[in-house]
Amino acid sequence: MTVHPAKTSPQTDRLNAARAEALFVSSLSAWADPTEADVEAAIREALLAYGGFHACAAEMAAAYGDHPETAAGRMRWARRVVGNLYPARDSS
């Protein structure tokens, strides 16, 4: 099956990237099969724990420096989960 990327607005792309960064630094396990409520709670808790999206991004960057062997896989998981939960909307 071929999947074609949807046309998305820059705002949707940035918001989903920020959500993925927050999910990345959350305590939610990438091995879990999280529900929508689990993901939303994990994002919210990470934002509160780290002090917002910019701090989550900084923490994620530190994780890439400290554990590059696991960070890429976790970010792929976070982006996939966020993409499934908040699908891109066609901007055309």
Is the pLDDT higher at 16 or at 68? 16
**pLDDT band per the 50, 70, 90 thresholds, residue 71:** confident
What stretches of 1-92 show up as alpha helix (H) in DSSP? 10-25, 36-50, 53-66, 68-85
Alpha-carbon distance of 26 to 50, in angstroms, equals 10
Percent of the chain with pLDDT over 90: 59
> What is the arithmetic mean of pLDDT over 15-35?
93
Token readout for 30 is 């990438």
- What pLDDT is attached to residue 67? 83
Distance of CA 70 to the CA centre of its chain: 15
- What pLDDT is attached to residue 47? 96
> What is the arithmetic mean of pLDDT over 40-55?
95
- What pLDDT is attached to residue 37? 96
Alpha-carbon distance of 12 to 30, in angstroms, equals 23
